Amino acid sequence: MVKLLDLSLGVSLSMTRFLSQEKTLNRVNQIKKAKLNSVEFGLLSCAIGQTRIPGINPFPTEKQSKSVAELFDNSEYYFSVHAPYRISATTEEESKLKYSKSNLSATLKVTDWLNGHHVTFHAGSFKKKHNNSHVEKVLKNWEEWRQEKAYNAKLAPEVGGKYNSFADFFTLVEITGGIDNCLMTWDISHDFARGGNIIDEGAILNRLEKLDQAFDLNSTNRLPMHFSGMVVGKTGEKHHTLLGKGNGVPWELVFSVLKEQNFLSKVNLICESKVPKGEKMKGNSVSDALKAREFLESNQVVKQYKGKPGNLDFYFN
Ligand SMILES: [Zn+2]
């Protein structure tokens, strides 16, 4: 067995102002028991000023955030945060941009309390035409503002799973790589779902090369990566599932290339697997993270994708 000291691998832990102590402790214990060393705190249902809407919760407080972080031995964990869904950089409406920025501000605050490295967020989707230059302007503005406010956590917009969402891998690496101190989140299941070519070795190598050119990656400034199983439809992502289910995300192939290229010390791997609602399957994000670790620590190398990418190969790039 290969010991990968440089591996940063984990799962997410949901947080809101109303999180129950019991649920949190359960999750913390699962993570510790599995000896994972990375946690992505999920603020997905949080929002400011809309607390009367069912399913929407206020952000965690400073005291709460710090006490959750203290449940882990801080120095041994790599922390990050996933922002709420209510952030959009694609919208051209001033009021919506303002509201997005307020939610991002609250998210950055929590991330700094947790001592998290970055904030992963979905940058939004396009209704009609893809207006990438508008999003670029917004992201630049947010980055300048983040620095003015002296927030420590970096911004890391995520590769979107739907064809209409911002953005595909190459657009994102080009835009965020051009903004000083900005990062991006490479969700390989989203990349796959929207028709990104991660099913052959050469294409994956090409992506790693782009990442190396765009960012200064090392063991303290890791590229956030998400992985999970994925069910793909005509417009891209339908929903997450367990590894090996759905349309067969080529995680073993991608991880083999990461390993061969000594890239594991430059990435932060978060497993987002889950059993889809209403389905019966054995497993969860923790067991899939362990599956990934077992694969990475073994001598196995996968050179070829054997699955079927679904019906999306017409726009693979
Ligand atoms: Zn993701």
The low-confidence residues of the chain, meaning pLDDT below 70, are: 1-5, 51, 74, 309-317
Residue 1 is predicted with a pLDDT of 55
Q: Report how far ligand 1's centroid is from the alpha carbon of 25 (Å).
A: 24
Q: Report how far ligand 1's centroid is from the alpha carbon of 136 (Å).
A: 20
Q: Report how far ligand 1's centroid is from the alpha carbon of 189 (Å).
A: 8
Residue 309 is predicted with a pLDDT of 66
Q: Report how far ligand 1's centroid is from the alpha carbon of 227 (Å).
A: 7
Task: Please provide the distance, in angstroms rounded to a whole number, between the alpha carbons at the two ends of the chain.
Answer: 35
Q: Report how far ligand 1's centroid is from the alpha carbon of 23 (Å).
A: 22
Residue 4 is predicted with a pLDDT of 62
Q: Report how far ligand 1's centroid is from the alpha carbon of 255 (Å).
A: 16
Buried b (16+ CB within 10 A) or exposed e, 165-184: bbbbbebbbebbbebeebbb
Cβ contact 39:73 at 8 Å:
no
Q: Report how far ligand 1's centroid is from the alpha carbon of 12 (Å).
A: 10
Q: Report how far ligand 1's centroid is from the alpha carbon of 9 (Å).
A: 14
Minimal CA–CA distance to 195: which of 173, 175, 170, 176?
170
Rounded-to-integer distance, Cα 82 and Cα 100, Å: 14
Residue 20 is predicted with a pLDDT of 86
Residue 307 is predicted with a pLDDT of 79
Q: Report how far ligand 1's centroid is from the alpha carbon of 105 (Å).
A: 20
Q: Report how far ligand 1's centroid is from the alpha carbon of 75 (Å).
A: 25
Q: Report how far ligand 1's centroid is from the alpha carbon of 190 (Å).
A: 7
Q: What are phi and psi of 37, to 5 degrees?
A: -125, 20
Sign of CA dihedral 66, 12, 112, 19: negative
Q: Report how far ligand 1's centroid is from the alpha carbon of 167 (Å).
A: 13
Rounded-to-integer distance, Cα 53 and Cα 76, Å: 37
Q: Report how far ligand 1's centroid is from the alpha carbon of 191 (Å).
A: 10
Q: Report how far ligand 1's centroid is from the alpha carbon of 226 (Å).
A: 5
What single string gives the DSSP state of each residue in 206-229?
HHHHHHHHH---BTTBPEEEEE-E
What is the set of domains in the chain, with CATH numbers? 9-315 (3.20.20.150)
Minimal CA–CA distance to 91: which of 58, 128, 121, 57?
128
Buried b (16+ CB within 10 A) or exposed e, 108-131: bbbbbbbebbbbbbbbbbbeeebe
Can you give the C-alpha Rg of the chain in angstroms?
18
Q: Report how far ligand 1's centroid is from the alpha carbon of 197 (Å).
A: 17
Q: In what helix (H) or strand (E) does residue 57 lie, and over which residues does it extend? A: none
Could you report the per-residue pLDDT of 194-218, keeping only the tens digit for each?
Answer: 989 999 999 999 999 999 999 999 9
Ranges of beta strands (E only) in 152-297 are 154-157, 186-187, 223-227, 229-233, 236-241, 267-271
Which pTM was predicted? 0.95
52: number of Cβ within 10 Å: 6
Q: Report how far ligand 1's centroid is from the alpha carbon of 186 (Å).
A: 8
Q: Report how far ligand 1's centroid is from the alpha carbon of 187 (Å).
A: 5
Helices marked H in 3-131: 21-33, 62-70, 94-114
